[in-house]
Amino acid sequence: MTPQAPQSIVIVGGGTAGWMAAVAFGRLMGPAGVRVTLVESDAIATIGVGEATIPPIRTFHAMLGIDENAFLQATGGSYKLGIRFEGWSCPGESYIHPFGQIGTDVVGVPFAAQWLRAHQVGMADPLAQYSLEARAAEAGRFSRPIANGDSPLSRIGYAYHFDAGRYAAFLRTQAEQRGVVRREGTIERVETGPAGIAAVHLANGSRIDGDLFLDCSGFRALLISGALGTGWVDWSEWLPCDRAVAVATSADAAPLPMTRAIAGPAGWRWRIPLQHRTGNGHVFSSRHLSEDEATAQLLADVEGKTLGDPRIIRFATGHRERMWSGNCIALGLAAGFMEPLESTSIHLVQSGLQHLLRLLPTGKMSMPASALVDRYNRVMTAEFVRIRDFLVAHYHLNARPERFWRERAIAPIPDGLADKLALFRAGGRIFREADELFNETSWLSLLTGQNAPVEGYDPICDAVPLHVAVRRLAQIEQVVGASLNHMPPHADALSRIAARESRRADHLAPL
Ligand SMILES: Cc1cc2nc3c(=O)[nH]c(=O)nc-3n(C[C@H](O)[C@H](O)[C@H](O)COP(=O)(O)OP(=O)(O)OC[C@H]3O[C@@H](n4cnc5c(N)ncnc54)[C@H](O)[C@@H]3O)c2cc1C
């Protein structure tokens, strides 16, 4: 870093986004002498939800030197192998979107293409049978990857569920150990200047200035919107749910290592098992369901004893026109929000941080290199758009009878999604765009799970005679079944963490 790089970074907000940013900047820039200050208000609560994640979080933790056992102990966390979508294509049907990779190529031809062809003629089992993660999730089993040649056990894809409040507290400890200074106080005024943000003023009269400001103030978006007036791109036409009601219940004795997403009359409910409790929520459209009705539906569905009162959360779906403006970068809810259907919000914080660390200017922030800023805004917007399209597909491809769902099925869809569906329809072709979060396995699980129309199969399959492909598919299924037997119950893995038996070890070491 040159001497002209930002020397002082101010993070506004101490929710998940703020403390993730604090750990990252504290660890990676603290040693270079950069001052990192985080301001949060004890009087303004964090959002308090955000408990399900996706596998890239493990890369983030590894980058920050976070020990997996310590993290799971501190946050009451559990393991997650995927998401089960219940009743999305139509009531009574369900499918899993598993992490990891499904199957392997069949003589050089992609697994997805071969499976689709064989499935169309009734010679292949349901897709989940070929996924170790999907079968383990259903069976309530879990293991970290076990080095074992080319076995699916060696490449198990997993993520976590955790308690959002405890996660922020855990990250705070990590950040403070790395020299991040926490300032408590409510920001009453934001001072602007030629660079964008000059300083924030607290209710107690103190002024905190810096070279670079990260707006992690949640839906308030104090800096990026309140002070800089950055516009908002509204996506409610694509994703009209605008409310959630959340309530915790007592812990499940045998928690499944997966998130459940259960479709309802005008939205869906989540269920997230932790060590010490279960998180439950209901995401819904207020045009179709009142808050009271949504709460009643949630309470009728939960299992176990409720812990506390249900809490309503109102949100808007979309993102800031520019997530980086002047010397201010918005992360987390201040940058944008999409409903937690695929657990992508915390990932977007992580992704924003990773892009930001690569694009930090080496000159004064009063003269931001516009190419860096433009690139950041472009890649982050593209990431939001691709995730949005993936979410919209869940709603578009449905045969449910209720008004909300009939409207979703016929509503116009974004062009990018229309292209994906057209390619799939024409022979089951799936292409992952550059840097796209969701890979072919994810799209295959979604499109087949939601009965997307498909005509014929990819002609590349004809390179392998059908009977050869069917035999190979059977072998893959058999290997997955045998691998499953090596995985202990998820509850065992969790009780070992709770009992603090698990040693501090490399995060990929087998349990
Ligand atoms: C219903 C729902 C469910 C979700 N589920 C998931 C999920 O399963 N997985 C996932 O990845 N994400 C999920 N999310 C998103 C996730 O919760 C957020 O992305 C994440 O918690 C980041 O929040 P945040 O830190 O941006 O904001 P917040 O948690 O709202 O934190 C804002 C911070 O700013 C501070 N602040 C605000 N105003 C001031 C002020 N004037 N002065 C000083 N400080 C101030 C507050 O004190 C607080 O510390 C969900 C979100 C919602 C709404």
What are the tens digits of pLDDT across the range 448-462?
999 999 999 999 999
Nearest to 310 by CA among 27, 119, 49, 4: 49
Is the pLDDT reported for residue 368 higher than 90?
no
User: For position 435, what pLDDT does the model report?
Assistant: 84
Written as six digits, the tokens of 262 are 């259960």
Residue nearest to atom 16 of ligand 1 (CA): 50
Say if CB 142 and CB 488 are below 8 A apart.
yes
Which DSSP state fits 222? I
- 321 lies in which domain range? 8-67+162-234+317-382
For residue range 157-182, what is the model confidence (pLDDT) as tens digits?
A: 999 999 999 999 999 999 999 999 99
| Residue among 47, 216, 312, 343 whose CB has most ligand 1 atoms within 8 A, to mutate | 47
Question: In angstroms, what is the span from residue 332 Cα to ligand 1's centroid?
Answer: 7
At 451, list the tokens.
Answer: 């009965």
391 closest CA partner among 423, 416, 410: 416
Q: Is residue 52 part of a domain?
A: yes
310 CB near ligand 1 (under 6 Å) = no
Q: How confident is the model at residue 367 (pLDDT cuts 50, 70, 90)?
A: very low
Q: Is the dihedral of CA 480, 485, 488, 490 positive or negative?
A: positive
In a domain, 295, yes or no: no
> Which pLDDT belongs to residue 1?
39
Q: What is the pLDDT of residues 12-43, one digit of tens each?
A: 999 999 999 999 999 998 888 899 999 999 99
Q: Is residue 338 a part of any domain in this protein?
A: yes
**Given a cut of 80, is residue 502 above it in pLDDT?**
no
Are 77 and 179 in contact by the 8 Å Cβ rule? The answer is no
Residue 44 CA: which ligand 1 atom is closest?
Answer: 47
pLDDT at 4: 55
Which of 44, 219, 347 has most ligand 1 atoms within 8 Å of CB, for mutation? 44
- Distance (angstroms) between ligand 1 centre and the Cα of 440 equals 30
Q: Which residues contact 280 (CB under 8 A, 6 or more apart)?
A: 246, 247, 248, 249, 269, 270, 271, 272, 298, 301, 302
Q: What is the mean pLDDT of residues 384-404?
A: 98
Quick one: tokens of 282? 């209901």
Quick one: pLDDT band at residue 108, thresholds 50, 70, 90?
confident
Q: Is the distance from the beta carbon of residue 171 to the nearest atom of ligand 1 less than 6 Å?
A: no
Q: Measure the CA–CA gap between 27 and 20, rounded to whole angstroms.
A: 11
Q: What is the CATH number of the domain that holds 218?
A: 3.50.50.60
**Count of CB atoms situated within 10 Å of the CB of 345:** 24
Residue 149 falls inside a structural domain:
no
> In the prediction, which pLDDT does 35 show?
95
pLDDT at 32: 85
Q: Residue 221 pLDDT > 90, yes or no?
A: yes
Is residue 325 a part of any domain in this protein? yes
Flag whether 121 is in a domain.
no
Residue 345 Cβ inside 6 Å of ligand 1? The answer reads: yes
Instruction: Check pLDDT > 80 for residue 3.
Output: no
Instruction: Assess whether the C-beta atom of 274 lies below 6 angstroms from ligand 1.
Output: no
Flag whether pLDDT at 49 surpasses 80. Answer: yes
Confidence of residue 364 (pLDDT cuts 50, 70, 90): low
Ligand 1 mean position to 266 CA, how many Å? 24
Give CA separation, 507 vs 64, 71, 285, in Å.
Answer: 12, 11, 40
Q: Helix-strand-coil percent breakdown of the chain, rounded to 5?
A: 40, 20, 40
Query: Average pLDDT in the 138-150 region?
Result: 92
Average pLDDT, the chain: 93
Pairing status of strand 318-320 against strand 232-234: antiparallel
The identity of residue 164, as a single letter, is A
Domain-located, residue 82: no
The atom number, within ligand 1, closest to the CA of 42 reads 47
Is 80 assigned a catalytic role? Answer: yes
Percent of the chain with pLDDT over 90: 87
Question: Is a pLDDT exceeding 50 seen at residue 76?
Answer: yes
pLDDT band at residue 505, thresholds of 50, 70 and 90? very low
- Of all residues in the chain, the percent with pLDDT exceeding 70 is 95
Q: Residue 418 domain-assigned?
A: no
pLDDT at 428 over 90: yes
| Cα-to-centroid distance, 247 and ligand 1 (Å) | 16
Instruction: Please state the domain count of the chain.
Output: 1
Atom of ligand 1 nearest to the CA of 246: 1
Q: Quick one: pLDDT band at residue 500, thresholds 50, 70, 90?
A: low
**Residues 6 or more apart from 165 whose CB is under 8 A from it?**
46, 48
Question: What separation in Å is there between the alpha carbon of 5 and the centre of ligand 1?
Answer: 29
d(CA 415, CA 417): 5
The answer to whether the CB of 83 is under 6 A from ligand 1 is no
pLDDT recorded at residue 30: 83
15 lines ligand 1 (CB under 6 A): yes
Residue nearest to atom 20 of ligand 1 (CA): 16
Maximum Cα–Cα distance across the chain: 77
